[in-house]
Structure 1
Amino acid sequence: MSTPPPLPPDPSNPSGEHPDKRDASYPENPFVYTGPPEEAPYQMAPVTDDASAKPEACVACGAPEFSSLTEVPVCETCRVALIRYPYPKWVKGAAAAVFALTMVALGLSIGRIQDAYHFTRAKKMVAEQRWEEACQTYRILAPRHTDNETATLYAEAAFKSGHHDEAMTAMHSLQVWMMTTDQRTRAGAVLKGLEKLGITIETPAESVQMVKPLTP
């Protein structure tokens, strides 16, 4: 292996010395003092071992006596207080608030997790045409989820499982002005099926009347 050629000399450092070793006359390093220590413009504080420096009084209250039951530099009164109340009140209050918020969030999360499970199960029941089980699942979800898709699926499952009253209740909860074309078509099919069975509505809801013209 060939040796790389040496670097060219630095014009700003003709001596090649490290900057810390230059004298004070060098223009790029004017703060390095190389004279006798007693003539230095500043004095360094003596280095002490912090571990060996012990306080002369209680670090908590300033009492001159130390407790003989602990190595912590506190008096007996402060030692007992530290044992009984090792954390400040604001720390305990903050911990209680965080715990309460965690419990609330956990409670809300459990409800959402359960709803997600029911939605997944209902979707599977509909795909397998197990209408009775699908109707039972949507019966649980309907009070908390009033969107059009849930109401339409609930009406379909209730109608195809023979729960015609529940089907009409789901139809009445539809918000027709927000329904998609697919939802209108499916709701209209449920309404037409109920009419074929001779089921009439004594006081027709606006939503039922609006999907009726879309019935195939």
Structure 2
Amino acid sequence: MTAVAPDTARASRKVSKPADDEALRDVALNAADRLFYARGIQAVGMDELRGASGISLKRLYRLFPSKDAIVEQVLLNRHRVWTEGVAAAVAGEEEPRERLLAIYDFLADWFAEDGFRGCAFINSFGELGGFSPRVAEIVRSHKKDFQGYVANLVSEAGAPPTLAPQLSILAEGAQTTAAISGSAEPAVQARAAAEILINAALKP
């Protein structure tokens, strides 16, 4: 084996690692998100996060003051990804009725993904909501934002406001049921129930 000169090895290591704190933050958050979602937040320690991210503990604590700060940012990133995903699915439909049903099509695709373990917000609230006010606040804000989004779609469809919480509850229930059953079928069932509610609400 040909020896690598020390200067060359150091240069190689520098190229292979993100050079700035923002890139390192992304690496750490992606690793944390994978671990938290797969195993639960409390089961994952900073040492494990160090190993998964390849970032030293000293650097991790320089990027984030605490594990709580990492949890918070992971959830905020999840909120952004969820919001963008639902919006993209809805944007693919033109008819108001179909735009509402697109929410459940989005859920069906998500439930069918490898490694699906339910809603990260519900999971986080179950783990930490009782003693972490910040986690509880983020989870409630996320759910409220989704309910508001559904309410806007209902309004655009010309349906009564009472339809919005009914459709939101169907989506929330589908997430929990799919996580427990390990099946994407709850999204199909929720869509069928939503269609009945929408048809009744829009009936002349």
Question: What's the TM-score once normalised by structure 1's chain length?
Answer: 0.27
Larger proportion of helix: 2
Does 1 or 2 have the higher relative contact order (CA < 8 Å, sep 6+)? 2
TM-score (norm 2): 0.28
Q: Which has the larger radius of gyration?
A: 1
